[in-house]
Amino acid sequence: MIRGTILVTGASGFIAAHVVRELLERGYRVRGSVRGNLSEGRFDMLRELPGAQERLTLHNAELSEEGPWRRLVEGCDAVVHAASPYRLEARDPKRELIDPAVAGTRHVIGAALRAGVPRIVFTSSLAAVTDEPVTGKVFTEADWNELSSVSRNPYYASKTAAERAAWALAQESGAEARVVSLNPGVVMGPSLTPGLNTSNSFLRGALNGTYHAIVSLDWPLVDVRDVALAHVAALEFDAGRGRYICVAETLSIAEVVRFLRSSGVAEGYQLPRLRLKGRLGALLARAYARTRPPGERSYLLTHIGKEFRVDGSRVTRELGVGYRDVRETLRDTVADLERWGHLRRDG
């Protein structure tokens, strides 16, 4: 049974590809927007998904252009807007990150609202909730990132500005009940496409010797497969409202490294052994952070030495999506990095 037509923007992206797979498995027709030549091999994995031949169409569309979105949202039962620039480093953060994220949101969400699309699911980020952990505080959907800017965590600023733009459009249209945002933390897990996403690349760096020390840093982790399930649940659950943080569990980098080593997952790799902890460790870590590129430097300086606690339970309570154990996620991510050739064991 065909259940309806869903537009998924940025369909070849890490999260969006899993959303596309889940929708196809449930019998939906999917329109996927992508960037680049549609004949490129990097889109083959989408076309090979079960049900894709019959119910998936791919369309070239740029976030910066308003025109294509009016056509793509027409006749859709829901829109999942997952496309957004994602990188820590940018020469011109406003032009490369913030402006396209906001413009894309206005073009896609605006077109969907004007077309009367009944349900709009917006892929935001924990970055729009906060850009700095506060020891002793548990962050919830009520919190908003008020600190990021072009010079401080500009990627976080782009996600915050984009989500605020989405809610402003919904409010102006009197359609807040039709919009839901998902705010995932550090998303890891197997990739459906060969590209290396930013979060998985952090884990690769921990295994291939890129990072020489274990800094005092917390990761609010969630599996990409659970994030995809949350997206689909949000578009199917009519009573869903507002924001939903997607975080299964927070692990420190030390805990991640300890698991990788003790489980045998990291055998043949170069995990860091030097642990920078305590006041001296924090000073050394901050000194190191100041030698890094601007985006990474800003992230490290606002996160090192601070406990990061997040409440991601609303997804389970209201949308019925349970979380995988993030240790399973870490194990699966390593195996997937090997499968795509992003990691190779010594010997």
* pLDDT tens per residue across span 288-339: 878 887 777 888 888 888 999 999 999 999 999 999 999 999 999 999 999 9
> Hey, what's the torsion of the CAs at 6, 12, 16, 21, to 10 degrees?
70
What would the mean pLDDT of 214-218 be, rounded to a whole number? 89
What pLDDT band is residue 1 in, cutting at 50, 70 and 90? Answer: very low
The answer to whether residue 208 scores a pLDDT higher than 70 is yes
What pLDDT does 89 receive?
Answer: 65
What pLDDT does 86 receive?
Answer: 65
What pLDDT band is residue 87 in, cutting at 50, 70 and 90? Answer: low
Cα separation of 18 and 192, whole Å? 7
Which of 130-139, 179-188, 278-287, 329-338 comes out lowest in average pLDDT?
278-287
What would the mean pLDDT of 83-98 be, rounded to a whole number? 77
Query: Tokens representing 162?
Result: 């984009």
* pLDDT mean across residues, the chain: 92
pTM (2 d.p.): 0.94
Looking at the chain, the whole-number percentage of residues with pLDDT higher than 90 is 70
Fold of 5-192+221-247+309-324: Rossmann fold (3.40.50)
What pLDDT does 347 receive?
Answer: 44
User: CA dist 66 to 105, 109, 198, 250, 268, Å?
Assistant: 10, 11, 27, 38, 49
Is 159 marked active-site? yes
Catalytic entry in 94, 137, 159, 277: 159
